[in-house]
Amino acid sequence: MPVAIITGASKGLGRALAGALAGRGWDLVLDARSAEVLARAAAEAGRHGTRVRALAGDVTDAGHRSALVAEAWRLGGCDLLVHNASALGAEPLVELAELPLAGLRRALEVNVVAALGLVREALPLLRARPGAAVVTVSSDAAAEAYGTWGGYGASKAALDQLAAVLAVEEPGLRVWAVDPGDMATDLYAAAVPDDDGPRPEPGSVVPAFLRLLDERPVSGRYAAPALLEGAR
């Protein structure tokens, strides 16, 4: 069975993607900070009959990252690494003039440094699996200048560049940075609590990620709405 590591898997996109992969027969190693919520997500994915391992912890902790990769090794290897865990830097979001530097550091640590740390830890397993892939969850804030989204957007822009360089340095892997578009998630609610406009549920964009796995396009940055449109 193929094995995937998914960070930030207790809610939102990570949870929806975990369920979809489990439904396709994938074994999973799931990460999130809340043990209780993660356990519920793991139980939900486990109903498909695949092996699901839930490890609660913080992706900025090197020991936790090592444990995630070790668990994947025990399941047989790693075919897919999804870095979905994210930090905003401030909740709610604020303009750069008010952004706490500690918050920016946190966003960079979670969104960029931890992503690289986990990739480096998993590289021996990924290199050993023909067709292995890395997915980093990006944002349109990485490419567009939106007021109050500066710190978060800067961290996601850095993550996009990290993914692009990784693709050059590891030509045996597929490395996809994916902008999922607007979604109704706790992260967005924390970022802009006064914006209660309707947004798609995270599960609605999962087919875009599955299309990447099915069709295996070249490494690069992709927008989920375009992938979904192309699949119709």
Active site residues: 138, 152, 156
Q: Give me the phi and psi of 32, to 5 degrees please.
A: -170, 165
Q: 208: which residues sit within 8 A by CB, 6+ positions away?
A: 178, 180, 222, 224, 225, 227, 228, 231
β-pair partners for 136:
83, 177
Q: Determine which helix (DSSP H) or strand (DSSP E) holds 31, and give its type and residue range.
A: strand 27-32
Q: Determine which helix (DSSP H) or strand (DSSP E) holds 174, and give its type and residue range.
A: strand 174-179
Number of Cβ atoms within 10 Å of the Cβ of 62: 12
Structure token digits, residue 132: 């292995």
User: ∠38-140-217 over CA atoms, to 5°?
Assistant: 80
Residue 124 identity: P
Largest Cα–Cα distance in the chain? 50
Whether the bond between 92 and the residue before it is cis, its omega within 30 degrees of 0, is yes
Reduced to 3 states (helix: H, G, I; strand: E, B; else coil), residue 126 is helix
Quote the distance between the C-alpha of residue 49 and its chain's center: 23
